[in-house]
Amino acid sequence: MGHVIQTESGYNVFAEDIGTGIPVVFLHGWPVSHKMFEYQMNELPKHGFRFIGIDLLGFGKSDKPWNSYTYDMQAEAVHHVVAFLGLEHFVLAGFSMGGPIAIRYMNKYGLAKVDKLLLMAAAAPVFTQRDAYPFGMKKEEADDMIKQIQADRPNALQDFGDMFFAQEHSNPFKQWFFHLGLEASGHGTIQAMEALRDEDLRDELAQISTLTYIFHGQKDEICPFDFAKEITGGIVNSTVIPFADSGHGLMFDEKEKFNQELLRVLQS
């Protein structure tokens, strides 16, 4: 079942809602949509979990306003979906850009509602390098990505997709994944990258005491494995689950292991 939920700011946010049982809310990465979690959507309802996939503002079937792509605005959108669906005790799972948005949501709205936090190849606590944080790409590299998107968005997304996986995948699969990115708005794609480039959540990690699991590929070229180490160093009640043969797209590179580990932590 699909829901269209209006936020306080007047934007419509789409959420896919499948199955019954304990809700697991998924936040996708840049620049795709909830459809990237197809292989989790296929499995979780079989095991008594309710899959809820939110399309962030600017992506998938959600509204694509001219601005509003900060982590605060995206966390507000998640908050309105959670309120509309009446969720009280649920699991929050954020992938890549969805990771820092999940952290921001936790600290603004979710500490009393979320029973477990899953951060998957999270672009957190900071996506780009800065003082005392030598991890990830340089801000100038993010600026170059923005320029490439402005010049030729399909080609830029194709190049980004080439960095996404450590394992070989079929051409039809890669085309499917590529087209998920094309469903986003151009301006939303750019402004979400600006948020990734600029926002810093290092001071927000210590506020989270929720049981947290950090899924991360050790061959990740987009959000290096150092990110996972930084997150677990900041969130006290956290555990890293490494994926030795995965790049950024760990739920595709090691699909069976990912789903097994996901079900294990959900059932624990």
- DSSP code of residue 47: G
Element (H, E) at 25: strand 22-27
In angstroms, the CA 2 to CA 4 distance is 7
Q: What are phi and psi of 245, to 5 degrees?
A: -110, 20
Residue positions annotated with a catalytic role: 96, 220, 248
Cα 255 to Cα 172, 217, 252, 268, distances in angstroms:
17, 12, 5, 20
Rounded Cα distance between 199 and 77, Å, is: 18
Q: What is the DSSP code (8-state) at residue 107?
A: I
Query: Which tokens sit at 15?
Result: 């959420």
Q: Which residues are 3's β-sheet partners?
A: 15
Task: With residue 92 as reference, give the H or E element that holds it.
Answer: strand 90-95
Q: Give one DSSP letter per residue of 188-254, joined into a string.
A: HHHHHHHHHHH-B-GGGGGG--SEEEEEEETT-SSS-THHHHHHHHHSTTEEEEEETT--S-HHHHT
Residues 6+ apart with CB under 8 A from 188: 31, 57, 58, 59, 64, 69
